[in-house]
């Protein structure tokens, strides 16, 4: 696929353009804006609880989205929560790709008993729904950041593994791979130079879709108090915390809720657009 | 056909066995001594030891597992430390609530989303298609957490139309079902659309048109059946994972089902219950997967010929 | 003889992301009632596109020009209802790849019966009965009506395809390389079957193929296609005995002969014209050994050289035969 075709496809996919722009704004905001807001995400200020949003009337120094029950600036907490969510999702997706792709390629390439074992292992993990598995493991191993990343990774590597394995099965039987075998190439050489480049498109697409999903799963765990623990902010635990005050101070849940929705939407748009743009079948 | 079902049944049992081993050892890794938790605070060392013997904790792990699994096969899931009653009984009491919620959700989601996906896929590039995709992407991006809370706020608090707590009447179903069904419908519509787009590019569809079949019939009778396999698979996966789906919704809407139970049990460190919910949910998932595979092999004869 | 289908200056352009594909360029052709016409050409010459255009089944992205008349009526301007009657009822089509042309999730019975229901109808029992008869006509026992395509071999599936095509007794059968995907022995059986059926039912046949043997076996007339246009047309005997266009000569020279003195097989140099980037003038000129200056700039028209033998080549229109 030529670069000009890629660029043309990118420009003509509205989902891709919108997703990429919004995702970019979100990533840049959560990384850099906390340096400018001037509030701490965790320090209480009991003199200024439940303040209404100032919007931008005081610039970046006001309580743009108001304050919560402990007087903490919601906008600041949103940004820090986003930092955690995006950081966790990025680490988790990378780990999933690595942990899923490696056995997937090996199982698909060598087949036989190895394939059976890997696939049965996937079946077992798949047999327990994602969220339940995550909740049960979190409950047992205890709640902290490392465990959260471990649990989210564990619940999702299977998809990568199965997709990779199925694609390898298809590619393994193509002529160019047979040709390499006939020419005496080693297994490692064939796997890394012949097969891997042909499954990367699928992996990139899958990873971009898993990103949004991971953010949602993390939010659900944090909402259930099994993810990021207060007072450290996360969008999930902010929604949980604001729920009791929702009737009178709705911005406590609306701010993190809308942030969560926009962020996941942006990444899903991006993932979907990416699928359209990279689609090998399209012509 | 029969051989296929027997083979799939064997696979299912193997997976369930592994899940039972996994959940057994996972729970044994949990901090805290179950014997201590069964006793009142400040129990004597002797009482703890006595309780350990009574619970069989003094025996090797594989013996404990064997005892556990034979109990499970007889319907004995152990005793809840928090409720101090039979786990099987608690689950049996709550399961119907979750099943009812799930059934209504699945039916509502399918009735809405399958036609939507088919229409969008057969009118690719039109406004209908665009809005379906928008609807689907929005649904996939909606956190159940946020959607549930939003529904409570808009319909319960702000408009005051619907009850947001508990179970009982038909009206109680509306908000939980809507919350559960939207992300589900989004995925179904999406997969229906892409299945339809793929199918309509096939040679046999051109061949069907060449036979003088009307477009409506081609879409809804012929291509529909081809696009149905991935839809059934997806609906099955979502139905199978229903306990996971309902955790958030049951918690927010105080729906007395299994999902809420799991959340409460984790908070109570009631490991016997957590373990059983894990097993029950895996068993349901396996059974529904089996049903899905059978339905799919009826739709597409190629599946059991493989 | 009365004309059944007449293609007039058909042009089809596909628009893809990268470029325009000129699949068919000013193609004209007539098929009379009861006639069997062979359409020969290499892969990519626009044969299938022509066939689909006759049924008005080109994808929406295709831009078409010219016209196709069926019994004097424009196929492109027909109403939906007329088209439904035309497709499968008046003109039936057999597809190239029997492995993909039958819907895998419906029984072969259903795929024959849907034609019967769409054209004629009747009670379910009658339809089933008729479908069984059709299956037997193509040499498959009736009880296999309830089997799925996956349970048949390629040759058997093509027989099913033929049965479905014949279900409504069409006046024209378009066979798009019906034997290309099959083994040689099976090819012979299928051709034998088609020959027999065509003789029996007096329908017209448009046989699309790149196999000249099939043409001499089945057809009275042959049209040779190159880069989306007809370059030579005539009675099979005349064209095969006395090919005029350098391309036709090349095609025939590429065939081994079983009788007569042994001679070296000749291949046509170069590759088939790229429909995304057609050469100016005669599309064959870059591969033509007798190419002249004129050929590079001016597109030749189809001209009669003898009775029922036409060619589109500057060599003949100017009587400069060497």
Distance between CA atoms of residues C19 and C278, nearest Å: 12
Residue range of the domain that includes A210: 23-38+78-278
Question: Helices (DSSP H) in B74-223: which residue ranges?
Answer: 87-122, 127-141, 144-151, 171-200, 203-210, 215-217
CB contact under 8 A, B211 and C87: yes
Residues of chain A neighbouring B14 (CB-CB closer than 8 A): 120
Tokens 């010459």 identify what position? C45
pLDDT, tens only, A37-48: 777 787 777 777
Residue A245 or residue C256, greater confidence: A245
Whether A16 has a pLDDT exceeding 70, the answer reads yes
Question: Which chains contact A through at least 3 pairs of Cβ atoms less than 8 Å apart?
Answer: B, C
Q: Are C252 and C240 in contact (CB under 8 A)?
A: yes
Tokens 């353009």 identify what position? A17
Residues of chain A neighbouring B282 (CB-CB closer than 8 A): 127-128
Whether B39 has a pLDDT exceeding 80, the answer reads no
Per DSSP, the three-state class of C280 is coil
Residues of chain C neighbouring B225 (CB-CB closer than 8 A): 105-106
Closest CA to B141 of A86, A264, A257, A214: A264
Residue range of the domain that includes C132: 98-169
Residue A114 lies in a domain: yes
Q: Using the 3D structure, point to which of C152, C169, C186 is the last residue of a domain.
A: C169
Instruction: Tell me phi and psi for residue B219, to 5 degrees.
Output: -65, -50
Instruction: Tell me phi and psi for residue B269, to 5 degrees.
Output: 55, 40
Whether A133 has a pLDDT exceeding 90, the answer reads no
Whether C106 has a pLDDT exceeding 90, the answer reads yes
User: What are the C-alpha distances in Å from C202 to residues C47, C189, C208?
Assistant: 24, 20, 18
Based on the fold, state whether residues C121 and C147 are members of the same structural domain.
yes
How would residue B304 be classed by pLDDT, with cut points 50, 70 and 90? low
In C16-132, beta strands by DSSP E = 20-32, 36-40, 62-70, 73-74, 91-94
User: What are the C-alpha distances in Å from A165 to residues A99, A114, B131?
Assistant: 13, 12, 34
> How many CB atoms are located within 10 Å of the residue C293 CB?
10
Distance between CA atoms of residues B146 and B150, nearest Å: 6
| Total domains in the fold of chain A | 1
CB contact under 8 A, C164 and B211: yes
Q: Which pLDDT score is estimated for A190?
A: 86
Closest CA to C181 of C209, C139, C160: C209
Based on the fold, state whether residues C247 and C108 are members of the same structural domain.
no
Closest CA to C14 of C39, C54, C49, C43: C49
Residue A174 lies in a domain: yes
Our CA-based measurement puts residue A122 at a distance from the nearest CA of chain B, in whole angstroms, of 10
pLDDT, tens only, C116-169: 999 987 889 999 999 999 999 888 999 999 999 999 998 899 999 999 998 988
Our CA-based measurement puts residue B297 at a distance from the nearest CA of chain C, in whole angstroms, of 10
Q: Are B143 and A264 in contact (CB under 8 A)?
A: yes
- Which C residues 224-253 touch B at CB under 8 Å? none
Residues of chain B neighbouring A117 (CB-CB closer than 8 A): none
Whether B264 has a pLDDT exceeding 60, the answer reads yes
Q: Are C310 and C303 in contact (CB under 8 A)?
A: yes
Whether A283 has a pLDDT exceeding 50, the answer reads no
Our CA-based measurement puts residue C257 at a distance from the nearest CA of chain B, in whole angstroms, of 36
The verdict on C101 touching B (C-beta cutoff 8 Å) is yes
Residues of chain B neighbouring A136 (CB-CB closer than 8 A): 23, 26, 266, 274-275, 278
CB contact under 8 A, C16 and A283: yes
Question: Which chains contact B through at least 3 pairs of Cβ atoms less than 8 Å apart?
Answer: A, C
Q: Which pLDDT score is estimated for C105?
A: 93
- Tokens for B71? 């109990």
Residues of chain C neighbouring A9 (CB-CB closer than 8 A): 17
Q: Mind giving me the DSSP string for C158-215? A: HHHHHHHHHTT--SEEEEESTTTTS-HHHHHHHHHHHHHHHHHHT-EEEEEES-HHHH
Between A and B, how many CB-CB pairs are < 8 A? 135
Read off the DSSP letter of residue C233. E
Per DSSP, the three-state class of B276 is helix
Contacts of residues B285-289 at CB distance under 8 Å and 24 or more positions apart, as own/partner, are B285/A127, B285/A128, B285/A129, B285/B240, B285/B241, B286/A127, B286/B12, B286/B15, B286/B16, B286/B240, B287/B12, B288/B236, B288/B239, B288/B240, B289/B12, B289/B236, B289/B237, B289/B240
Based on the fold, state whether residues C198 and C291 are members of the same structural domain.
yes
Read off the DSSP letter of residue C143. G
> How many CB atoms are located within 10 Å of the residue B132 CB?
23
Based on the fold, state whether residues C77 and C163 are members of the same structural domain.
no
Candidate from B203, B209, B214 with C-beta closest to C97: B203
Distance between CA atoms of residues C47 and C41, nearest Å: 7
| Total domains in the fold of chain C | 2
Q: What is the mean pLDDT of residues B98-113?
A: 94
Our CA-based measurement puts residue A69 at a distance from the nearest CA of chain C, in whole angstroms, of 56
Distance between CA atoms of residues C236 and C218, nearest Å: 10
Q: Which pLDDT score is estimated for C201?
A: 83
> How many CB atoms are located within 10 Å of the residue C123 CB?
8
pLDDT, tens only, B173-188: 888 999 999 999 999 9
Our CA-based measurement puts residue A24 at a distance from the nearest CA of chain B, in whole angstroms, of 17
- Tokens for A118? 């890997």
User: What are the C-alpha distances in Å from C67 to residues C29, C86, C91?
Assistant: 11, 16, 16
Question: Which chains contact C through at least 3 pairs of Cβ atoms less than 8 Å apart?
Answer: A, B
Tokens 């099979």 identify what position? C236
Among B19-33, B114-128, B282-296, the range scoring the smallest mean pLDDT is B19-33
Q: Please, what is the average pLDDT of chain A?
A: 86
Question: Helices (DSSP H) in A33-127: which residue ranges?
Answer: 34-37, 74-110, 112-127
> How many CB atoms are located within 10 Å of the residue B107 CB?
12
Distance between CA atoms of residues A163 and B52, nearest Å: 46
Q: What is the mean pLDDT of residues B22-37?
A: 80
CATH code, A101: 1.10.3720.10
Instruction: Tell me phi and psi for residue A67, to 5 degrees.
Output: -125, 165
CB contact under 8 A, C150 and B305: yes
CB contact under 8 A, A246 and B30: no
High-pLDDT (> 70) share of chain A, %: 96
Candidate from B203, B210, B300 with C-beta closest to C88: B210
Tokens 């043409």 identify what position? C215
Burial of C265 (0-12, 13-18, 19+ CB in 10 A): exposed
C3-15/C172-176 β-pairing: unpaired
Our CA-based measurement puts residue B230 at a distance from the nearest CA of chain C, in whole angstroms, of 14
Residues of chain A neighbouring B240 (CB-CB closer than 8 A): 129
Q: Which pLDDT score is estimated for A176?
A: 85
Q: Are C43 and C275 in contact (CB under 8 A)?
A: no
- Tokens for B279? 């097993």
Q: What is the mean pLDDT of residues B40-63?
A: 80
Residue of C nearest to A3 (CA): C18
Q: Are B78 and B91 in contact (CB under 8 A)?
A: no
The verdict on B153 touching C (C-beta cutoff 8 Å) is no
Per DSSP, the three-state class of C62 is strand
The verdict on B209 touching C (C-beta cutoff 8 Å) is yes
Q: How far is CA A249 from the centre of its chain?
A: 30
Contacts of residues B80-86 at CB distance under 8 Å and 24 or more positions apart, as own/partner, are B80/B265, B80/B270, B80/B272, B80/B273, B81/B34, B81/B37, B81/B38, B81/B268, B81/B269, B81/B270, B81/B271, B81/B272, B82/B264, B82/B265, B82/B268, B82/B269, B82/B270, B82/B273, B83/B270, B83/B273
Residue B166 or residue A218, greater confidence: A218
CATH of B91-299, one of 3.90.650.10, 2.30.30.140, 1.10.3720.10, 1.10.3210.10: 1.10.3720.10
Distance between CA atoms of residues B272 and B79, nearest Å: 7
Residues of chain C neighbouring A279 (CB-CB closer than 8 A): none
Our CA-based measurement puts residue B289 at a distance from the nearest CA of chain C, in whole angstroms, of 21
Based on the fold, state whether residues C141 and C180 are members of the same structural domain.
no
Among A72-81, B109-118, C3-12, the range scoring the smallest mean pLDDT is A72-81
Based on the fold, state whether residues C161 and C190 are members of the same structural domain.
no
Q: Using the 3D structure, point to which of C143, C169, C195 is the last residue of a domain.
A: C169
Residues of chain B neighbouring A137 (CB-CB closer than 8 A): 26
Helix axes A3-12, A251-278, angle to 10 degrees: 140
Q: What is the mean pLDDT of residues B181-199?
A: 92
Residue A2 lies in a domain: no
Q: Which pLDDT score is estimated for C102?
A: 94
Residue A8 lies in a domain: no
> How many CB atoms are located within 10 Å of the residue A179 CB?
11
Burial of C186 (0-12, 13-18, 19+ CB in 10 A): middle
Distance between CA atoms of residues B44 and B66, nearest Å: 29
Distance between CA atoms of residues B222 and C301, nearest Å: 45
Whether C44 has a pLDDT exceeding 80, the answer reads no
How would residue A256 be classed by pLDDT, with cut points 50, 70 and 90? very high
- Which C residues 265-294 touch B at CB under 8 Å? none
User: What are the C-alpha distances in Å from B10 to residues A33, B16, B214, C54, C252?
Assistant: 56, 10, 44, 54, 61
Complex confidence, ipTM: 0.89
DSSP β-bridge partners for residue C6: C30, C69
Q: Please, what is the average pLDDT of chain B?
A: 87
Residue A90 neighbours by CB under 8 Å, 6+ apart: A211
Based on the fold, state whether residues C233 and C287 are members of the same structural domain.
yes
Read off the DSSP letter of residue A67. B
The verdict on B301 touching C (C-beta cutoff 8 Å) is yes
Question: Helices (DSSP H) in chain C: which residue ranges?
Answer: 47-54, 80-85, 108-118, 124-137, 154-166, 184-201, 212-218, 236-241, 246-253, 314-317
CB contact under 8 A, A139 and B269: yes
Based on the fold, state whether residues C275 and C211 are members of the same structural domain.
yes
Phi-psi region of B78 (alpha: psi -120 to 50; beta: other; left: phi over 0): left
pLDDT, tens only, B209-253: 999 999 999 999 999 999 998 999 999 988 888 888 889 999 988
Based on the fold, state whether residues C54 and C180 are members of the same structural domain.
yes
Our CA-based measurement puts residue A192 at a distance from the nearest CA of chain B, in whole angstroms, of 30
Residue of A nearest to B21 (CA): A124
Distance between CA atoms of residues C249 and C232, nearest Å: 11
Q: Which pLDDT score is estimated for C322?
A: 41
Domain residue extents for chain B: 2-73, 91-299
Based on the fold, state whether residues C175 and C242 are members of the same structural domain.
yes
Q: Are B92 and B99 in contact (CB under 8 A)?
A: no
Residues of chain B neighbouring C104 (CB-CB closer than 8 A): 204, 226, 300-302
How would residue A7 be classed by pLDDT, with cut points 50, 70 and 90? confident
Tokens 């068993």 identify what position? B283
Whether C319 has a pLDDT exceeding 60, the answer reads no
> What global pTM score does this model have?
0.87
Q: Are A26 and A266 in contact (CB under 8 A)?
A: yes
Our CA-based measurement puts residue B240 at a distance from the nearest CA of chain C, in whole angstroms, of 26
Q: Which pLDDT score is estimated for A156?
A: 84
CA A244, A247, A249, A251: dihedral to nearest 10 degrees? Answer: 90
Distance between CA atoms of residues C115 and C122, nearest Å: 12
Residue A229 lies in a domain: yes
Residues of chain C neighbouring A5 (CB-CB closer than 8 A): 17-18
Q: Which pLDDT score is estimated for C260?
A: 66
Based on the fold, state whether residues C51 and C7 are members of the same structural domain.
yes
Tokens 């170069």 identify what position? C270
Tokens 């209404």 identify what position? A52
């Amino acid at each position: 696929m030529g670069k000009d075709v890629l660029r043309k496809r990118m420009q003509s996919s509205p989902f891709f353009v919108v997703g990429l722009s919004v995702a970019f704004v979100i990533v840049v905001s959560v990384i850099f804006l906390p340096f400018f807001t001037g509030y701490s995400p965790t320090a209480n200020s009991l003199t200024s609880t439940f303040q209404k949003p100032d919007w931008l009337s005081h610039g970046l120094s006001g309580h743009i989205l108001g304050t919560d029950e402990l007087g903490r600036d919601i906008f600041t907490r949103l940004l820090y929560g986003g930092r955690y969510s995006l950081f966790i999702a990025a680490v988790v997706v990378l780990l999933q790709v690595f942990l899923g792709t490696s056995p997937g390629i090996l199982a698909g390439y060598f087949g036989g008993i190895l394939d059976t074992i890997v696939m049965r292992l996937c079946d077992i993990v798949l047999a327990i729904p994602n969220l339940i598995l995550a909740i049960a493991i979190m409950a047992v191993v205890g709640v902290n950041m490392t465990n959260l990343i471990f649990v989210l990774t564990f619940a999702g590597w299977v998809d990568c593994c199965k997709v990779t394995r199925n694609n390898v099965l298809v590619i393994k039987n193509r002529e160019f791979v047979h040709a390499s075998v006939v020419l005496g190439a080693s297994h490692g050489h064939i796997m890394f130079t012949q097969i891997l480049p042909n499954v990367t498109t699928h992996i990139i697409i899958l990873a971009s879709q898993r990103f949004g999903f991971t953010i949602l799963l993390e939010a659900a765990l944090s909402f259930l108090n099994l993810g990021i623990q207060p007072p450290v902010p996360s969008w999930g635990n902010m929604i949980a915390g604001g729920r009791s005050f929702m009737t009178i101070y709705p911005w406590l849940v609306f701010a993190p809720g809308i942030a969560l929705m926009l962020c996941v939407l942006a990444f899903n748009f991006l993932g979907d657009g990416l699928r359209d743009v990279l689609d090998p079948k399209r012509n | 056909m029969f051989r296929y079902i027997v083979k799939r049944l064997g696979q299912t049992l193997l997976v369930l066995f592994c899940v039972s081993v996994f959940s057994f050892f996972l729970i044994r890794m949990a901090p805290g001594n179950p014997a201590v938790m069964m006793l009142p605070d400040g129990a004597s060392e002797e009482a703890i030891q006595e309780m350990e013997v009574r619970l069989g904790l003094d025996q090797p792990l594989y013996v404990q597992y064997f005892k556990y699994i034979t109990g499970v096969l007889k319907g004995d899931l152990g005793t809840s430390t928090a409720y101090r009653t039979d786990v099987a009984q608690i689950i049996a009491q709550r399961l119907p609530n979750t099943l009812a919620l799930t059934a209504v959700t699945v039916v509502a989601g399918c009735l809405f989303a399958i036609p939507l996906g088919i229409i969008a896929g057969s009118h690719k590039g039109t406004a209908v298609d665009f809005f379906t995709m928008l609807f689907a992407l929005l649904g996939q991006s909606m956190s159940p957490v946020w959607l549930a809370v939003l529904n409570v706020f808009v319909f319960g608090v702000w408009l005051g139309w619907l009850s947001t707590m508990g179970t009982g009447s038909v009206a109680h179903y509306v908000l939980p079902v809507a919350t559960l069904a939207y992300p589900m419908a989004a995925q179904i519509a999406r997969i229906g659309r892409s299945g339809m787009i793929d199918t309509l590019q096939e040679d046999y569809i051109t061949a069907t048109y060449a036979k003088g079949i009307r477009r409506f019939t081609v879409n809804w009778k012929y291509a529909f059946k081809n696009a149905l396999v991935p839809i059934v698979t997806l609906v099955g996966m979502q139905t199978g994972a229903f306990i996971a789906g309902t955790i958030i919704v049951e918690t927010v809407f105080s729906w007395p089902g299994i999902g809420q139970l799991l959340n409460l049990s984790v908070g109570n460190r009631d490991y016997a219950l957590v373990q059983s919910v894990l097993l029950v949910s895996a068993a349901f998932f396996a059974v529904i997967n089996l049903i899905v595979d059978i339905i799919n092999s009826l739709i597409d004869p190629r599946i059991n010929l493989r | 003889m009365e004309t059944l289908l007449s293609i007039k200056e058909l042009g089809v352009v596909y628009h893809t992301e990268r470029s325009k594909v000129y699949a068919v360029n000013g193609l004209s052709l007539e098929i009379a009632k009861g006639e069997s016409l062979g359409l020969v050409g290499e892969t990519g010459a626009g044969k299938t596109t022509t066939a689909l255009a006759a049924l008005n089944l080109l994808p929406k992205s295709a831009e078409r020009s010219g016209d196709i008349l069926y019994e004097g009526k424009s196929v492109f301007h027909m109403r939906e209802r007329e088209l439904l009657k035309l497709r499968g009822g008046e003109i039936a089509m057999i597809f190239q790849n029997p492995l993909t042309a039958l819907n895998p999730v419906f029984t072969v019975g259903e795929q024959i019966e849907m034609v019967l229901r769409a054209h004629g109808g009747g009670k379910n029992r009658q339809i089933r009965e008729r479908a069984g008869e059709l299956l037997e006509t193509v040499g498959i026992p009736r009880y296999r009506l309830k089997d799925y395509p996956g349970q048949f071999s390629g040759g058997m599936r093509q027989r099913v395809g033929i049965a479905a095509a014949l279900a409504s007794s069409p006046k024209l059968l378009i066979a798009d390389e019906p034997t290309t995907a099959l083994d040689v022995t099976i090819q012979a059986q299928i051709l034998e079957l088609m020959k027999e059926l065509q003789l029996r039912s007096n329908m017209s046949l448009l046989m699309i193929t790149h196999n000249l043997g099939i043409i001499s076996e089945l057809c009275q007339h042959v049209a040779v296609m190159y880069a989306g246009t007809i370059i030579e047309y005539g009675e099979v005997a005349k064209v095969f005995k006395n090919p005029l266009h350098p391309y036709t000569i090349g095609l025939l020279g590429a065939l081994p002969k079983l009788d007569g003195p042994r001679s070296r097989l000749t291949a046509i140099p170069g590759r088939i014209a790229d429909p995304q980037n057609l050469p100016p003038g005669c599309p064959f000129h870059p591969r033509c050994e007798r190419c002249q200056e004129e050929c590079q700039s001016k597109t030749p028209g189809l001209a009669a050289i003898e009775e029922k033998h036409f060619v589109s080549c500057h060599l003949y229109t100017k009587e400069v035969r060497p």
